[in-house]
Structure 1
Amino acid sequence: MILLSFDVEEFDMPFEYGKQISFDDQISISTTGTEIILDMLQRHQVKATFFCTATFAIARPDIIKRMVTEGHEVASHGYYHSDFQPEHLLSSKLALEAITGQPVTGYRMARMMPVDEKEIHKAGYYYNSSINPTYLPGRYNNLKVSRTTFWKDGVLQIPASVSPMLRLPLFWLALHNFPMWLYKHLCHRTYKTDGYLNLYYHPWEFTDLHDKERFGFPGYVSKNSGKAMLERMESLIVGFKRKGLVFGGIGEWVEQGAKTLHQ
């Protein structure tokens, strides 16, 4: 199964590059990108998982309810995107459940940072998708972590997909910067090896990020953002569908039997 996921948060990334952006603008930009994604998924009849912060969900419950109405999974991305306390694991889960009216079983830590699996289990999550099993300078080194699903402290770990041999990451920056033929090749090779793909992106990537004065982003972040990102994503989806591959939410995939893998 192709597991598309999107991390929906207050758009605070400009802070990492020394820029200021108001909370209203953070929510507005993330909302615009999320609506573009939802429209795209609806056009192609594809289901996905949206890892949402409670902060965004409380600000735009209408967007969260649209996700549910259109058959997507809502999972937790924490309470805030730039602040974490262990108690946020449960409080974000409860906030999202109150808005969606559905159980929230999945979690993804902001910026794919480490999180205590015992606390994840204690908060009542079934799976955690917070590991990118590759090396990213200045961010993390997970080259010794399993590429595929495994259990830890009672929680099913579902790492982001990386290529089998060199562990080339297939996350959002790869789609921005790799030639499309190479990105698709790596995705298909990984799918053939692992039997699934876990790919993640962000709504703000689907808006124009080229204003360096406003956002401060280097070229490898802003490249192929906005309309170009939408075109790339649609090309990827169409290519997968032509090969007869099936899309679904992570929770749905788990329910279908992924929980028995690598146990």
Structure 2
Amino acid sequence: MILLSFDIEEFDGPREHGVDYSLEEGMRVSVEGTNRILDVLKANDVRATLFCTGNFAENAPEVMQRIINEGHEVACHGVDHWQPNETDFVRSKEIVERVTGVAVTGYRQPRMFPVVESEIKKAGYLYNSSLNPAFIPGRYMHLTTPRTWFMEDGVMQIPASVTPVVRFPLFWLSLHNLPERIYHMMVRRVLRHDGYFVTYFHPWEFYELKEHPEFKMPFIIRNHSGRQMVERLDNLVKMLKSKGHKFITYNEFVNIHSQSQPQKIE
């Protein structure tokens, strides 16, 4: 099973590097990137889960409608990606459900920062996907957390996939910078070991970042961005489909496993 997801947020990367960058500019980048993502998914006839910020939902209702119309799951990703706060669990759900008219069951915190699970449950979510169980200097230190899904305070936790033993992360940056053959090989290893694969990307990765030095984005983010990343995503989806793997939404994954026991923690 493939749990493919995208954090559909306003692009705020330049602000991390001291660039004065507006919400309107960030939305323009992310709308273009999101439509490129949706084009790839539609061409390959696969569904994904899109974690949307309240800002994106309110400023791009036509894109949100396209997401729904093409059969994808919508989940929540806070309200303002740049300034997450404690009330976002409730507010983001209210905003996304109002814009789409669809009930939301999942949450992912911006930048995968920690959340209070009891508050997630209280807000009405069934699952939380705010954990990358790897060691990434300056961002994550999660070498002792479970690699695979588990329950906490009545909420299913769905971590991003990392390789067994060494916990090499297989998220967006890895597909940007590794040779595709190596990345695909590691994904297949996770599938053999865990029985499913979880990963995530962002819309601004599919924008031509290399053409905008004024954004001051690091090379590892600019590398293979834009149409090259579109091609890499397309190749990944095609490889997985050729191996007979089924793409499902996170909500479907929760429904499948809600009556079973969590997998063994390593």
Answer whether TM exceeds 0.5 for this pair: yes
CA–CA separation in structure 2 for the residues paired with 1:76 and 1:153: 19
Q: What is the 5 A alignment of 1:88-237? A: 88-211=88-211, 213-237=213-237
Q: Which runs of 5+ in 2 are unaligned?
A: none
Q: Which runs of 5+ in 1 are unaligned?
A: none
Q: Is the 8 A contact 1:86 1:119 kept in 2?
A: no
What is the CA-CA distance between 1:261 and the residue it aligns to? 3.9
- TM-score when normalising by structure 1: 0.97
What is the CA-CA distance between 1:198 and the residue it aligns to? 0.6
Task: Tell me the amino acid that sits aligned with residue 202 of structure 1.
Answer: H
1:51 is matched with 51
Q: How many residues align?
A: 263
Question: CA 1:82–1:261 in structure 2 vs 1: closer, same or farther (change >3 Å)?
Answer: farther
Percent same amino acid at aligned positions? 47
Query: Deviation digits for residues 30-50 of structure 1, max 9, x if unmatched?
Result: 000000011110000010000
Question: CA 1:57–1:145 in structure 2 vs 1: closer, same or farther (change >3 Å)?
Answer: same
Query: Deviation digits for residues 210-246 of structure 1, max 9, x if unmatched?
Result: 1463211111110000011011111111111111111
SS of corresponding position for 1:156? strand
What is the CA-CA distance between 1:259 and the residue it aligns to? 5.8
Q: Is the 8 A contact 1:11 1:27 kept in 2?
A: yes
Displaced runs of 4 or more, over 6 A: none
Pair 1:62-2:66 in alignment = no
CA–CA separation in structure 2 for the residues paired with 1:126 and 1:25: 33
User: Mean Cα displacement is larger for which, 132-141 or 21-30?
Assistant: 21-30
Q: Is the 8 A contact 2:156 2:254 kept in 1?
A: no
Q: Is the 8 A contact 1:156 1:259 kept in 2?
A: no
What is the CA-CA distance between 1:65 and the residue it aligns to? 1.0
Q: Is the 8 A contact 2:133 2:145 kept in 1?
A: yes
Task: Tell me the amino acid that sits aligned with residue 152 of structure 2.
Answer: K
Task: Tell me the amino acid that sits aligned with residue 203 of structure 1.
Answer: P
CA–CA separation in structure 2 for the residues paired with 1:16 and 1:23: 14
SS of corresponding position for 1:192? helix
1:17 is matched with 17
What is the CA-CA distance between 1:101 and the residue it aligns to? 1.4
Q: Is the 8 A contact 2:129 2:157 kept in 1?
A: yes
| Cα RMSD for the two superposed structures | 1.2
CA–CA separation in structure 1 for the residues paired with 2:2 and 2:196: 6
CA–CA separation in structure 2 for the residues paired with 1:118 and 1:20: 36
